[in-house]
Amino acid sequence: MMETQIGAELCFPQLFNRSCRRPTFHWSEAVLLNIVLSFISLITVSLNLLIIISVSYFRKLQKPTNILILSLAVSDFLIGFFVIPFEMLRNTSCWMFEDITCSFYYYVASVSLSASIGTIVLISADRYVAICYPLHYPTRITLSRIKRCVCLCWSCVAFYVTVFLKDELIQPGRSNSCIGECTISVDYMSGTFDLFITFLFPVTVIVVLYMRVFVVAVTQARAMYSHNRSVTLQLSVQQQTKKSELKAARTLGVLVVAYLICFCPYYCCYYAVDTSISTSYASFWFFLIYFNSFLNPMIYALFYPWFRKASKHIVTLQILKPGSSEANIL
């Protein structure tokens, strides 16, 4: 009787000595969690796909800052389309796929998250040059240069993750203690190095750049509002340009703040406080990180009129009309 009860709790009862136990979620909790995460995954995929199509299709939107937004949308799309569904499966049921699939899941998740923070760094640098050195921005930040930076960012991230997970990629499943789970193990030195490379260093760069941007932006805003209204047309155009740059800096500042709110708890609590934190808490911090991919397109929809216009063109299939790529979306 006891063996029958234990067998029912196992992922693979026929492998009694090697099988993992099923997750302890009550069925109602598992259903609720899957519904919520499925909704988040669906919205994340849909909105980020709209961003990818908008910036890729409409030529008016192919500007340096929007290329960075496109890069961030690609990483968010991968998280919503691939990572969140597998994370749901990994936490609410037994792992039924091959070990190579588990290693590939961790690889895609690591690349997507690392590329996300790398793009945030590039966005911060872009706003830093635009606000602090506006006269040099058109020559320093060109479309071709930004595209090369984005390609370099993704290439470096892919190479780093390959090296970091090489043992798991060479020998999939080496960290699993039983059949039916999907885990990886990282030693203390490697984890500390990864913490510095993927979080502490880029976040420090982001905070320093945005502190400088904030100070300069406040100074410029005060100067514009205190300026006499009877200005020449040239000065008026310059002020409109400054306002546009300040608005972009504010919007991307919200993006950075949302990123830090979603990522800091995981790194602070999981690494710095207690490396033996419970699985339920670890899963919560993971899902909070993934929730950032859901928030980003919401921020675009709230602050960027071009995103709403482009989305309307796409949803209503106006992009199928000849010459629609030249539409004035801005």
Question: Can you tell me the distance from the alpha carbon of 149 to that of 143, in angstroms, rounded to the nearest whole number?
Answer: 10
Looking at this protein, which amino acid is placed at residue 130? A
179: left (phi over 0), alpha (psi -120 to 50) or beta: beta
230 pLDDT more than 50:
no
228 pLDDT more than 60:
no
Q: Render pLDDT for 242-270 as a digit per residue (tens, 0 to 9).
A: 555 666 667 777 877 888 888 887 777 65
Nearest to 244 by CA among 117, 176, 330, 119: 330
Nearest to 180 by CA among 17, 5, 2, 4: 17
Measured in residues, the chain has a length of 330
The C-alpha angle with vertex 93 and arms to 90 and 96, in degrees rounded to 5, equals: 75
**pLDDT confidence band for 5 (50 / 70 / 90):** very low
- The average pLDDT across 68-83 equals 93
**pLDDT confidence band for 237 (50 / 70 / 90):** very low
Q: Render pLDDT for 181-224 as a digit per residue (tens, 0 to 9).
A: 888 888 878 888 888 888 889 988 988 888 888 777 777 666 65
Structural contact between residues 67 and 280, judged by C-beta atoms closer than 8 angstroms? no
Question: Can you tell me the distance from the alpha carbon of 303 to that of 299, in angstroms, rounded to the nearest whole number?
Answer: 6
- The average pLDDT across 44-57 equals 93
The sign of the dihedral angle between the CA atoms of 137, 142, 146, 152 is: negative
Q: Render pLDDT for 14-41 as a digit per residue (tens, 0 to 9).
A: 766 777 877 766 667 778 888 888 999 9
Average pLDDT, the chain: 80
Could you state, in order of their start, the residue ranges of all structural domains in the chain? Answer: 25-175+186-326
- The average pLDDT across 277-297 equals 73
Q: Render pLDDT for 120-150 as a digit per residue (tens, 0 to 9).
A: 899 889 888 888 888 888 888 899 999 999 9
pLDDT at 275: 46
The pair of three-digit structure tokens given for residue 70, joined into one six-digit string: 């496109």
pLDDT at 163: 93
Q: What percent of the chain has pLDDT over 70?
A: 80
pLDDT at 52: 94
Chain centroid to CA 192: 21
The DSSP annotation for 74-107 comes to HHHHHIIIIIHHHHHHHHHS---S-HHHHHHHHH
pLDDT at 280: 53
CATH pick for 25-175+186-326 out of 3.60.150.10, 3.30.930.10, 1.20.1070.10, 1.10.10.10: 1.20.1070.10
- How many CB atoms neighbour CB 178 within 10 A? 16
The pair of three-digit structure tokens given for residue 97, joined into one six-digit string: 């796929």
